Amino acid sequence: KLSKLPFRKTLDEFDFTVQPSIDERRVKELMTLSFLKNHENPIFLGPPGIGKTHLAVSIGLQAISHGYKTYFISAHDLVSQLRKADLDQKLEKKLRSFVKPSLLIIDEMGYMKLDNHSAHYLFQVIARRYERGSIILTSNKSFGEWGDIIGDPVIATAMLDRLLHHSRIYNLNGESYRMKEKKLQNEKQ
Ligand code: ADP
Ligand code: MG
């Protein structure tokens, strides 16, 4: 019942010593899955390569191991699947597939600009899950920059309003872990 996770990595594999910007205890608390019972939304923000997807995946694995239906998708794929379904007159069914899982992980919000149509699809998912099911979201953009991702400021505000009402925000920063690994490899050669 694995749900399209891009890779399998656990929290044990996450090195908190290289990521001092984030409070280890606050992240570990997510593993109790109390956020799921309260329909809260953990949100991981920060630049590329610093472990946002890793953390989202590790929580997803924990949720799955406790029997929670979990679905992982990038913001881009979510929107394009909904658009396609809409063209095929199957929007309602597709929307339901994103509302039904106990946990929906929306990865990489902000890499793509969303036109009004796309923003509206995403809004539908967020609004329908509001106070019913958790969303884990990762983004390279701060909330202040959402106005730039989403052309329509009214939709942007309405989306953030629902998403943030019951949320737990984790701000990560620092150097890309991918770059760090690459440097270490080069030094060894
Ligand atoms: P992001 O989603 O923030 O762009 P990822 O979560 O995909 O970054 O991390 C990039 C790669 O680096 C992944 O292979 C991830 O497992 C690894 N990684 C990132 N941060 C850490 C860390 N603190 N400890 C161990 N591995 C990490
Ligand atoms: Mg990522």
User: What integer pLDDT is reported at residue 3 of this predicted model?
Assistant: 78
Ligand 1 midpoint to CA 12 (Å): 13
User: What integer pLDDT is reported at residue 133 of this predicted model?
Assistant: 98
To the question of pTM greater than 0.90 for the whole model, the response is: yes
User: What integer pLDDT is reported at residue 151 of this predicted model?
Assistant: 85
User: What integer pLDDT is reported at residue 1 of this predicted model?
Assistant: 45
Widest distance between CA atoms in the chain: 56
pLDDT in tens, the chain (189 residues): 447 999 999 999 999 999 989 999 999 999 999 999 999 999 999 999 999 999 999 999 999 999 999 999 999 999 999 999 999 999 999 999 999 999 999 999 999 999 999 999 999 999 999 999 999 999 999 999 999 999 899 999 999 999 999 999 999 998 899 888 888 888 877
CB atoms within 5 A of ion ligand 2 belong to: 53
Ligand nearest to the CA of 106: 2
Scan for tokens 């770059």, then name that residue: 179
User: What integer pLDDT is reported at residue 131 of this predicted model?
Assistant: 96
User: What integer pLDDT is reported at residue 169 of this predicted model?
Assistant: 97
Report CA 136 to chain centroid distance, whole Å: 4
User: What integer pLDDT is reported at residue 2 of this predicted model?
Assistant: 44
Ligand 2 midpoint to CA 70 (Å): 17
User: What integer pLDDT is reported at residue 178 of this predicted model?
Assistant: 85
- Distance between CA atoms of residues 11 and 22, nearest Å: 13
Ligand 1 midpoint to CA 56 (Å): 10
Which residue owns the Cα nearest ligand 1 atom 20?
A: 51
Which ligand 1 atom minimizes the distance to the CA of 107? Answer: 2
